[in-house]
Amino acid sequence: MTDKKKRTDSSMTDQELVEAHASLNREKHPPTVGFLYAPLIFVFVFGCLIFVCSIQLAHTTNNFQLHPPREVVELSPEEKEALRIERKVESGKKVFAARCASCHQDNGQGIPGQFPPLDGSKWVTSDPGLISNIIIMGLKGEIEVKGVTYGTNPAQNMVAVPINNREIANVVTYVRQAWSNEATEVLEEEVSAFRAESSEQSEQWTGEQLREMYPSAFSTE
Ligand code: HEC
């Protein structure tokens, strides 16, 4: 038996062996049923998995940001409003420093005999149209501020301050709430309405004109 096997194995020459392998190689496996669909299904399933995972990942990492922004603090409507006013007053203060403080001074006290005070002045804290119109067209002639008369000297007058409605709204709001003043905010839209009032005016306002336009502002003076 062993002899026979041995003989069979060794009876093939090298040449025969090579040919036998070659013919085996040439033979093809019959295709397995469903062979083509298996990889397709795998690709599809993995595709779906990757898709779902990336959506999940994008959600949890805030659109793939390595350093997500600090959590946004939700402000209540009141806090937002306070912040808005704060910013407005802040920018009004800058306008004041650049456009008004040289005469009316940083502390709003003016200079006695030259520039009237804005702190505690009715012209500032009553109707916002009054101060807005003064900024838009300027002011000349005699006026009374806190019981003191200014503008007796014609050289002492205020020329129009060339700033836009937004800057006027900001600076007026600031002045109306600075120092001891506690008056309401003024909106940019209101200022544009005041500007319309000034459109007919070709030169500086006089105190008299403004008194007529805003009688209520002086009713208790
Ligand atoms: C060049 C100096 C000068 C500048 C700058 C100036 N003013 Fe005046 N302002 C005066 C004078 C002078 C008067 C008084 C005019 C009069 O007597 O007719 C006056 C009057 C006023 C009045 C009415 C009187 C009072 O004291 O309440 C207000 C309000 C006022 N200015 C606000 C402002 C604001 C706000 C600014 C800046 C946007 C400004 N002024 C810039 C000189 C100035």
178 Cβ below 6 A of ligand 1? no
Q: Is 169 in the pocket of ligand 1 (CB under 6 A)?
A: no
Ligand 1 close to Cβ of residue 122 (< 6 A): no
Same domain, yes or no: 98 and 56: no
Mean pLDDT computed over every residue of the chain: 88
Per-residue confidence (pLDDT) for residue 4, from 0 to 100: 45
Is the residue at 10 inside a domain? no
Same domain, 55 and 100: no
Q: Report whether 213 contacts 197 (CB < 8 A).
A: yes
Q: Do the beta carbons of residue 117 and residue 146 sit within 8 Å?
A: yes
- Residue 3 scores a pLDDT above 50: no
Asked if residue 221 has pLDDT above 50, the reply is no
How many structural domains is the chain composed of? 2
Same domain, yes or no: 116 and 186: yes
**Are 43 and 146 members of one domain?**
no
Q: Do 53 and 88 sit in the same domain of this protein? A: no
Nearest CA to 160 out of 124, 131, 182 is that of: 131
Q: How many CB atoms lie within 10 A of CB 145?
A: 20
* Angle, CA of 193, 198 and 203, to the nearest 5°: 165
Residue 1 lies in a domain: no
Q: Place 142 in a pLDDT band, splitting at 50, 70 and 90.
A: very high
Q: In terms of residue numbers, what domain contains 198?
A: 77-218
In a shared domain, residues 129 and 55 = no
Flag whether 90 is in a domain: yes
Asked if residue 8 is part of any domain, the answer here is no
- Can you give the pLDDT at residue 133? 96
Q: Which of 67, 85, 100 is the last residue of a domain?
A: 67
pLDDT, tens digit, for every residue of 77-114? 999 999 999 999 999 999 999 999 999 999 999 999 99
Q: Are residues 101 and 135 in the same domain?
A: yes
pLDDT digits (tens, 9 = 90+) for 147-188: 999 999 988 899 999 999 999 999 999 999 999 999 999 999
Phi-psi region of 59 (alpha: psi -120 to 50; beta: other; left: phi over 0): alpha
Pocket test for ligand 1, best of 104, 144, 186, 213 (most atoms within 8 A of CB): 104
197, pLDDT greater than 50? yes
